[in-house]
Every structure is written in structure tokens, then in C-alpha cells.
Amino acid sequence: MTAPVAPEADWEKAPGLLDGAKELTLGPEECDLAYWFTSVAQGTLRDRGATGHHADALTPDFLKNPGPLREALVLEFGFRALAEELATRLLGHYVSRAPGIPEMEFYATQLIDEARHARVFRQHLVDLGVPQKTLLAEIDAMARDYRARVLDPVVDFTLDIVRDQGDFAGGVAVFAIIIEGVLAPAAELSERKWTPLSPATGEISRGTAIDEIRHLTVASTILRDHVRAHPEYEPRLLEILRSGVRLWDEIPDREFVIHREELFQQGMHAHADLIGDYEVWPGVKLLDTTAEQRYDMAEQWTDEMAEVRMAYMGLPLGVLSSEGGA
């Protein structure tokens, strides 16, 4: 008999990323190494371990030919592959700094999750026709500017807190609230917009979103419990969050996202027959949206998710607004 898979990690039963991150409450004690092997490796990833998608979920030929849609997808998955690689490397510090076994085991699993995400995003570019031999060099070249202007400042900020200052809880806050709190809604948008166009792409995104629910919710529980046990830590936590928000405000991520959303925009109209009446969010057809509207919706999801998660942690939401109020 096979061990039961937790519903939130079950491919068929897991909620969407936004709903899951808003409604579920998971902690490091339940999401330990045994959970990961049973519910993730043998659950979420069953039949999808190698590529992140089922063998029956194909990449359409039109995404293998030059054009704006292919370019949008190559840029998106190339950038995300690099971001996930840097996340993996950062998480090594979380494993070594974890205060107890539950946190150590959980971050060991998250480290593997992010390394897997980097791999499946990267390898999807090979499905799109990027030669395996030049894959790493091509990602390096296409993402050089993005890395220097967006990713490196975030990595340096995080390293200062978790590695140099040895502040594990502060590091958890930066990763889950500042980094993944912003990237998760972008990932949700990605899943929704690629699903009608490419089954393989949609499944890769879906699998990473299921993992992301766990990353967001477990980190929130770690922080909630830390602040409960150490109320004197809260002012420092809020100061870290304010600096994180200031940093994010200075980083030019919008221009990179809008550029690829505009390429997607050109491409989706060329394949309007595949998209049809598909709704990207309730009541709104994907074909009726603009690049700006999709970007704004991801921002709105970021705010909605933050509201629920900050309340769960007992932290004031105002600290996340650009004005940095409390």
C-alpha cells in the first residue's frame, strides 16, 4: 500500500497558489522530511519528477518556432530559472542556521524544491529548442542585466541578514514576505496565462505553485511562533520588513516583467483560436487583457495575500506599504 498524499500536495486536489496561501496553515512540524518524501516526491511529483510535467502534457510546435510568444516564454523561464538557482544557494544558509530540527528539515526540503524549480524551468527551454550545450550560457547572457539590477541586490540584502548577522527569523521574513510574497502572484499569473497555450508549461508552473503554497504557509507559522515566543523581536522584524519594502521599491523589476508581457500580448493574439473564451481570472477573458492589466492584477494579488498572511502572523499590514507606516 502506498502512503497517503496530503491533499494540499496532491496534483488533483491541491488548491491554487493564491487560495492555498491564503487559506492553509501549515507548520514545520507537519512539513518535515517524511512529509516531503511521501507527499511531495511520491505525491506531487509522481510521473512528473524529471521534467515537471507529465509525458502526455506536450509543448506545442508553435512555441518551438521564433516569434513573440516563444521569446516571452524563453525570457520568463530563463529569468525564473536564474532566480530559483540563486534562491537555492541562499537557502543553504537557512539550513545551516536553522535553530531546531523541524526548521532544519523544512529548509532542507525547500532548498531541494527551489533547485528542482530552477532545473525544470531551465530544461523547458530545451523543449523550446534551446540547445542543451549552450543552455547555461544563453540564460547567463539573457539574464545578465536582470541579475545585476534585480536579483543581486535582493541576494545581498538577504545574505546580510541571514549569513552576516546570523538572524534566522529575519531571514525567514525576507524570504517568505519580501521575496516569495512578490514572486508567488507572478507565478500564479504565469500558470493562468500559459495553461491554455501549452500543457507542458502550465503543468510546470502548477507543480511549482503547489510547492510555493507550502513555502509561504510554513514560513508564516515559523514567524508567528517566533514572535509569540519572543515579542521583543517584533520591532526588529518590522524594521527588516520596512527595509525590504524600500529595497523592492527601488528595484526596476517592472520593466523586465512588462517587456515580456508585451511580447506575450503580441503572441497571444496570433493564437487567439487556442485561447478562445478562457478566463484568466473570474469574469475576464485573457484575450481582453493588456500587459499592464496583468501586471496590476499580480500586484493586487500580492496585496491580498499579504493582508491575510500578516494577520495570521499577528503583524501590522501597514509595514508593507511603500510609505512604511505601522
Least separation in angstroms between CB 64 and Fe ion: 25
- Per-residue x/- mask for Fe ion, residues 158 to 197, rule CB under 5 A? ----------------------------------------
Q: Which residues are registered as beta bridge partners of 284?
A: 281
Least separation in angstroms between CB 215 and Fe ion: 4
Helix, strand, coil fractions of the chain, as percent rounded to 5: 75, 0, 25
Measured between alpha carbons, how far is 302 from 242 in angstroms, rounded to an integer?
Answer: 16
CA angle 104, 170, 208 (to 5 degrees): 60
Residue 84 vs 167, nearer CB to Fe ion: 84
Residue 152 vs 296, nearer CB to Fe ion: 152
The stretch among 42-50, 115-123, 267-275, 287-295 that binds Fe ion (CB under 5 A) is 115-123
CA angle 57, 295, 197 (to 5 degrees): 20
The residue type of 270 is A
The stretch among 56-64, 117-125, 219-227, 230-238 that binds Fe ion (CB under 5 A) is 117-125
Span 200-229, contacts to Fe ion by CB under 5 A: 212, 215
Q: Which helix or strand (DSSP H or E) is residue 279 part of?
A: strand 279-281
> To 10 degrees, what angle do helices 291-313 and 253-270 make?
130
Residue 81 vs 200, nearer CB to Fe ion: 81
Residue 73 vs 268, nearer CB to Fe ion: 73
Among residues 97, 117, 226, 294, the one that binds Fe ion under rule CB under 5 A? 117
- Per-residue x/- mask for Fe ion, residues 29 to 68, rule CB under 5 A? ----------------------------------------
Least separation in angstroms between CB 184 and Fe ion: 8
Kindly write down the DSSP assignment for every residue of 293-318, as one continuous string. Answer: HHHHHHHHHHHHHHHHHHHHHT--GG
- Per-residue x/- mask for Fe ion, residues 282 to 321, rule CB under 5 A? ----------------------------------------
Measured between alpha carbons, how far is 54 from 40 in angstroms, rounded to an integer?
Answer: 15
Least separation in angstroms between CB 44 and Fe ion: 13
114 binds Fe ion, rule: CB under 5 A: yes
Residue 218 vs 268, nearer CB to Fe ion: 218
The stretch among 108-116, 154-162, 189-197, 290-298 that binds Fe ion (CB under 5 A) is 108-116
Measured between alpha carbons, how far is 10 from 206 in angstroms, rounded to an integer?
Answer: 11
Q: Map grid coordinates 503583524 to a residue.
A: 315
Measured between alpha carbons, how far is 169 from 73 in angstroms, rounded to an integer?
Answer: 35
The stretch among 37-45, 66-74, 78-86, 135-143 that binds Fe ion (CB under 5 A) is 78-86
Q: Which residues contact 60 (CB under 8 A, 6 or more apart)?
A: 197, 198
Interface residues toward Fe ion, by CB under 5 A: 84, 114, 117, 212, 215
